Amino acid sequence: MRFDLESASQLLRRTPATLRALLAGLDDGWTHADEGEGTFSPFEVVGHLLEAERTNWLPRARVIRAGDPGATFPPFDRYAHRRLHAGRTLDDLLDEFAAARRENLAEVASWGLDEAALRATANHPEFGPVSLAQLLSTWVVHDLGHLAQVARVMAKRYGEDVGPWERFLPILRDRPKPAS
């Protein structure tokens, strides 16, 4: 196991500033590009990360913390941002994501998690028992997956403009990934 709470927190703390450095003030041509029907633009990725902050990671961690291993997580709607963020600006969503992430990390830190607490489990609605350490690891990997997605979506915007260099740029051939 590579997971530890300190190194996971280091990464989780950096995601809002990373997305802000990359996306704040960019033209809509960049921030609203996507990979076709059903895929997320960078704007939507930020909205999805914000909603996950509000209704996925901490609500699920609290279910595990409540101590009943028979309990099941509340569902997470991975498309909720489409309903909730119509007409919002990317700058607002970046601010709200940063604030929500900060609060969530403060709450996790306040728990003073030890090894036993990280091994505690509850049930994922689709695949059964998962531990708090697995949930927190997934939080990190989910961030990084969506950061890679943002880079990929924006790279493809210039897919035809690179001409013969296309063969040296494998990111242009990476397929869209399903939302998670």
Contact set with a copy of itself (CB under 8 A): 1-3, 7-8, 10-11, 14-15, 17-18, 20-22, 25-27, 29-30, 124, 127-128, 130-131, 133-134, 137-138, 140-142, 144-145, 147-148, 151-152, 154-155, 157-165, 167-172, 174, 177-178, 180
* Shorter beta-carbon distance to a copy of itself: residue 80 or 151: 151
**Which two structure tokens, joined as six digits, stand for 80?**
């909720």
Contact 130, 2 (CB under 8 A): no
Kindly state the smallest distance separating residue 24's Cβ from a copy of itself, in Å. Answer: 9
Nearer to a copy of itself, 76 or 88 (CB): 76
- Please, what is the end-to-end C-alpha distance for the chain in angstroms? 23
C-alpha 142/C-alpha 100 separation (Å) is 16
Distance between CA atoms of residues 98 and 64, nearest Å: 24
* CB 153, min distance to a copy of itself, A: 9
Q: Which is nearer to a copy of itself, 82 or 124 (CB)?
A: 124
Closest CA to 73 of 86, 65, 64: 64
Find the shortest distance in angstroms from Cβ 72 to a copy of itself: 14
Report, in Å, the least distance between residue 47 CB and a copy of itself: 19
Name beta bridge partners: 131. 121
Give the nearest distance from C-beta 76 to a copy of itself in angstroms.
11
Residue type present at position 112: G
87 versus 170: smaller Cβ distance to a copy of itself:
170
Beta bridge partners of 123: 72, 129
User: With respect to a copy of itself, which residue has the nearer C-beta, 86 or 168?
Assistant: 168
List Cα–Cα distances, 86 to 89, 90, 146, in angstroms.
Answer: 9, 11, 20
